[in-house]
Amino acid sequence: MDASILDLMKQRVVLLDGGFGTELIRHGFPKGACPEAWNVEKPEAVKAIHKSYFDAGSDAVLTNSFGGNSIKLAPHHLEKRCYELNKAAATIANEVKPKGRFVGGSMGPTGKFLQPEGEFSELEFEKAFAEQARGLADGKADFLLIETQYDLREALAALRGARTASKLPVFITMTFSRGPRGFFTMMGNSVAQCLEAFEKEGVPVVGANCTLNSSDMAELVKDMKEKTRLPIIAQANAGKPALSAGGEVSYSQGLEDYLEHIPRIKENGASVIGGCCGTNPDYIRRMAEVLK
């Protein structure tokens, strides 16, 4: 059997990919459409993005399935195609995967809330994520990444769902904001609370992505490292998004400023580093140089 991504983490920092949404738009993705539909409608465009990240030096790329759970697919009337779209997501990423690299099955949040704030039960979330995980596993993802989670309860439901559907290693990243009392998720979960829950559940790799720029992410990694011995994933945004008059999204942290904090993210204890919103293959190429 090939060496796993967990083995690679023991040897050196593992480099993930960067933002996907802006890359899709660059390939002509229309506003308001369903990104996951492109795994079957425009697989060549999705594959070209994955390939650009592998070429830039990513050890692993994440599948185009961030919104691929049935609850998130429902507004696009694609919920019945959840399995198919996720299996395709992993299959096409594997088609451009060089030997010795990896494909991670991306599992983003439902975008909905659990009872009592929302209408969904934990079991409904669990089932939605299980179906997604089944598709990603059958498409031969090497691992699953439950990512950008803002509610610990939802992250744990996703974990249970993923584990009922596949035997793949499941990693989790939460998204935290920085406030006067430290880092918290939107639902008020602290860093310590999340890490404790994930350790208890035997999650092998944990971390954070999105929301924070690379400077704040370095501080968060330091905080996490003090609270866990698990390998840590860090994927910072390139600052904050801003919308131009023409409707184009740009990000506040430029490439050079973003890169300046990457060594600190590593020194503070991240084992897996990638980009998030606002980053692109140029960022990853430069990060590969910095991390060397």
The contact set with Zn ion (CB under 5 A) reads 210, 237, 276-277
Nearer to Zn ion, 197 or 276 (CB): 276
The nearest distance, CB 210 to Zn ion, in angstroms, is: 3
Residues making up the chain, counted from first to last: 292
Longest CA pairwise span in the chain (Å): 52
Which residues are bridge partners to 234 per DSSP? Answer: 208, 273
Instruction: Give buried/exposed letters for 225-234 (b at 16+ CB in 10 A, else e).
Output: eebbebbbbb
Burial class from Cβ neighbours inside 10 Å (0-12, 13-18, 19+) for residue 122 reads: middle
Sign of CA dihedral 185, 82, 235, 2: positive
The nearest distance, CB 43 to Zn ion, in angstroms, is: 24
Distance between CA 50 and CA 254 in Å, rounded?
23
The nearest distance, CB 268 to Zn ion, in angstroms, is: 20
Nearer to Zn ion, 56 or 277 (CB): 277
The nearest distance, CB 277 to Zn ion, in angstroms, is: 3
Give residues with Cβ within 8 angstroms of 282, minimum separation 6.
56, 255
Nearer to Zn ion, 166 or 237 (CB): 237
Nearer to Zn ion, 276 or 284 (CB): 276
Nearer to Zn ion, 210 or 232 (CB): 210
Map residue 236 onto helix, strand or coil: strand
* Angstrom distances, CA of residue 289 to CA of 18, 237, 263, 285: 15, 19, 11, 7
Nearer to Zn ion, 234 or 277 (CB): 277
The nearest distance, CB 67 to Zn ion, in angstroms, is: 13
Map residue 90 onto helix, strand or coil: helix
The nearest distance, CB 222 to Zn ion, in angstroms, is: 20
CA angle at 96 for the pair 20 and 63, rounded to the nearest 5°: 35
Nearer to Zn ion, 52 or 237 (CB): 237
Q: Among 82, 59, 64, which residue's Cα sits nearest to residue 7? A: 59
The nearest distance, CB 52 to Zn ion, in angstroms, is: 18
